[in-house]
Chain A
Amino acid sequence: MAGEEAVGPPRNRSRMKALSKVRRYGLAMISCGIALAAAWPIDAPASCFLLAVTLSSLFGGLGPGLLSVGLSAIGFGYFFLGRTVPPAVEPAVFLRFAVFLIASSLITGVMEIKRRVEQSRNRAEEALRQAQSDLAHVSRVTTMGELTASLAHEVNQPIAAAVTDANTCLRWLNRDHPDVEEARAAALRIVKDATRAAEIISRTRLLFKKGTPQWELVDINEIIREMVALMRSEVTRHSISVRTELAEDVPQLTGDRVQLQQVLMNLMINAIDAMKDGDGTRELAVKSQRAENEQLMVSISDTGVGLPPQQADQIFNAFFTTKPHGTGMGLRISRSIIESHGGRLWAADNSPRGASFHLTLPVEAEAHE
């Protein structure tokens, strides 16, 4: 069975508040007017006024509720108890009026309490969203921290080559008869080494196969839920709705949790980036399902700008990016992670628009470097 979950876009609250205030008080007066008109020929005025009070409190809150209590009381007293002042001619009628007042005030009170509870719950949800956004930030910084170790190793390689080449260059020059051609060849190698080191630093290149993965049994649905929760504030910020369809019968797999999280985060960030500047529906769909040959499949689809035309096969290349500040390593790293888990990662067009990324993972993946 598939479990569905939707995160709606946030409403423009301040504008709505001002508009609805007028509307709510208007509603209280209109509902009392209608109650009066409806109750006029009938001899059950109290119930009609109670309905008016209920409606006003429900949709208006405390102020409009109390206003409608007051209006109802005046209407009730004036039109149904007669114009006698004081109206205590008949004790039964007076009692009826008192019961009406108490009942209508109670309704308003209860509605107000309900509204306050909801309000505090909204505030708690807001705080939760903030915490999630902070967490997403921290997690991204942590990912960068983890990159540093691999980065240092990758940079060390060409630097070691450069040191050796520089020493070699000096050896050719320090001879009694310096061999300029050989020295030049060594110098050219130094240029290559240094260029590579600089490239790695500027592109924050990472080769996961040389990291130290932590292989364990992981539940892909759990990872998806974690990442959807982490990205929640990010998607709400861009008015994107998230739909998850997670098949319950997906088996666990052996893999590196942090790496798989990073793949999902990369793909989701790409999807958000593809949608945040476009118009129309913004929907991020994450699905998991069982696939053939003891595999599971995860699909991440967006309704964004779609794959770059004529370059769809290049998006997985290192340093290929369509973003102004992209590193061009996200998809490359994602693919190498999935491949190191014995799976595949590919992209396709989404219908009617946007892009879809699909990945398969063997459910009995062997741990390997």
Chain B
Amino acid sequence: MATQAKAKLVAIVDDDELMRGALQGLLKAVGLPSRAFASAEEFLKSGQQHQTACLIADIRMPGMSGLELQAQLNAEHCRIPTIFITAHGDTKMRLQALRAGAVEFMAKPFDDEVLLENVRAALDS
């Protein structure tokens, strides 16, 4: 499991517990290992960012936002394919995220097929 996770680990960063549970459950159902973090700070502190093959993150979170997390990872030269899921994403925010290297920018509630396609694409890249 550990070696497998090292290669294909999906990290979930969302302050909402229900959302974390739902995303982990979905990934488990398609056989993808995942780890969930309640905040961007927790994710950065865990040191898991270097083993993460795909990141699913919320934009608006208490403390560091999803976009700030993306910028921080970019600054650390840790380019993880990132999928943002947010409840209130405007066009400007979307463009900013995509320009900074986000794979996709999805609004809640999202289509699980589309999400999984994006995750698989990120893992294969």
Chain A residues at the B interface, C-beta cutoff of 8 Å: 153, 156-165, 167-168, 171-172, 182, 185-186, 189, 192-193, 196, 209-210, 369
Distance of A167 Cα from B23 Cα, bound (Å):
11
Number of inter-chain CB pairs below 8 Å:
71
Of B30, B60, B109, the contact of A159 (CB 8 Å cutoff)? B109
- A153 B88 Cβ-Cβ under 8 A: yes
Q: State in angstroms the CA–CA spacing of A174 and B26 once bound together.
A: 14
Whether A167 and B87, one on each chain, are in contact in the complex, defined by CB atoms closer than 8 angstroms, is no
By size class, the interface of chain B is 20 to 34
Looking at chain A's contact residues, is the secondary structure mostly helix, strand, loop, or mixed? helix
Interface residues of B in 73-122 (CB under 8 A from A): 85, 87-88, 108-110, 112
Residues of A close to B30: CB separation below 8 A: 171
Chain B 1-44 near chain A by CB (<8 Å), digits 1 or 0? 00000000000000010110111011011100000000000000
Query: Could you list 17 A-B pairs, sorted by A, with CB under 8 Å?
Result: A156-B108, A156-B109, A157-B19, A158-B18, A159-B109, A160-B19, A160-B110, A161-B22, A164-B19, A164-B25, A164-B112, A165-B21, A168-B22, A168-B28, A168-B112, A171-B30, A189-B18
Across-interface contacts of A172 in B (CB, < 8 A)? 29
Given contacts A156-B87, A157-B18, A160-B87, contact A210 B60 (CB under 8 A): yes
Contacts A164-B26, A165-B26 supplied; 11 other A-B pairs, CB < 8 Å: A156-B109, A157-B108, A159-B109, A161-B18, A164-B109, A167-B112, A171-B26, A189-B22, A193-B22, A209-B62, A210-B60
Task: Write out the residue numbers on chain B whose beta carbons fall within 8 Å of the beta carbon of A189.
Answer: 18, 21-22, 25
Contacts of A210 in B (CB 8 A): 60
Q: Which 10 A-B pairs have the closest CB atoms?
A: A160-B109, A160-B108, A164-B22, A161-B18, A161-B22, A171-B29, A167-B112, A163-B109, A168-B25, A168-B26
- Chain A residues, Cβ within 8 Å of B108: 156-157, 159-160
CA A209 to CA B85, docked complex, whole Å: 19
Tell me how far the C-beta of B67 lies from the nearest C-beta in chain A, rounded to whole angstroms: 13
- In angstroms, Cα B115 to Cα A164, docked, is 10
| A189: nearest chain-B partner, CB-CB | B21
A157 contact set on B, CB distance < 8 A: 16, 18-19, 87, 108
CA A336 to CA B19, docked complex, whole Å: 23
From B109, which residue of chain A is reached at the shortest CB distance? A160
Looking at the assembled complex, report how far the CB atom of B68 sits from the nearest CB atom of chain A, in whole angstroms.
12
Knowing A153-B87, A156-B87, say if A161 contacts B21 (CB, 8 Å).
Answer: yes
